[in-house]
Every structure is written in structure tokens, then in C-alpha cells.
Amino acid sequence: MQALVIDDSRAMRMILGRMLRELGLEVAEADNGRRALDLIDAGLDPALVLVDWNMPEMTGIEFLTTVRNPPYASTARILMVTTETDLPQVIQALESGADEYLMKPFTQESVYAKLQLLGIEV
């Protein structure tokens, strides 16, 4: 199964990527939503996407809105992983196409719990 980690923090991409690889997933990384779309345009078809909210060029919300609508209309399971903790932002992310929401900082156990909610075997 392919996963895509989108975060402008290299350290965060490494942490999440390592967790996903330990579960046997193939992991691609992008440092913003625009680069993530470039990967998808080039043929990447992730079943799982972990995306940050606050990034340059294209935010996580802009990515969600774009990837959930034509021409993409992605059916990937999408987990928003962010420091944004206010309820209106959680609602906005879910309404924009996120399937689950995880607040930073997080633990490995909390990531795995969210993946289980998404139907990803852990």
C-alpha cells in the first residue's frame, strides 16, 4: 500500500514516514500540497495521505479541497496531522475532505489508533 506524507517539516516527514514504513507501507513525501499534487499527477496513487495544515505554496486545506474534487476525486483515506486544535478548524478539515484529524504533538500509539479508525492494518 502506498502512503503520502505531506508536511513542510522535514523532521515530521521523517517521523511519520518511519512509522508508516514500520507498518510495511511504501511512503512518498512532499513538503507542501502543490508538490504532493505534482507527485499524484506523475502517477502516485496513495491509498493513505497524512497532511499538515500550515504549509507554504498550498496549505493542507487547499490540498484537501483540490484532491477531493475533479479532476482528482481521490478516494484515499486522508488524515490531517496538525497543530491546529480549535474545533472550527477540525470541522473545516473534515468538511474539506479529511477522514480523520490528529493533533500535534502525537504519540506513535495515537497515530496507529487513527490508522485503525481509517481501516489501515497496524
3-state secondary structure 29-95: EECCHHHHHHHHHCCCCCCEEEECCCCCCCCHHHHHHHHCCCCCCCCCEEEEEECCCCHHHHHHHHH
Question: Which residues pair with residue 48 across a beta bridge?
Answer: 3, 77
Residue 122 has a pLDDT of 67
Residue 85 has a pLDDT of 84
Low-confidence ranges of the chain (pLDDT < 50): none
**Per-domain residue ranges for the chain?**
2-117
Residue 86 has a pLDDT of 87
pTM, full prediction: 0.94
Residue 121 has a pLDDT of 77
Instruction: State the fold for domain 2-117.
Output: Rossmann fold (3.40.50)
Give first-to-last CA distance, the chain, whole Å. 12
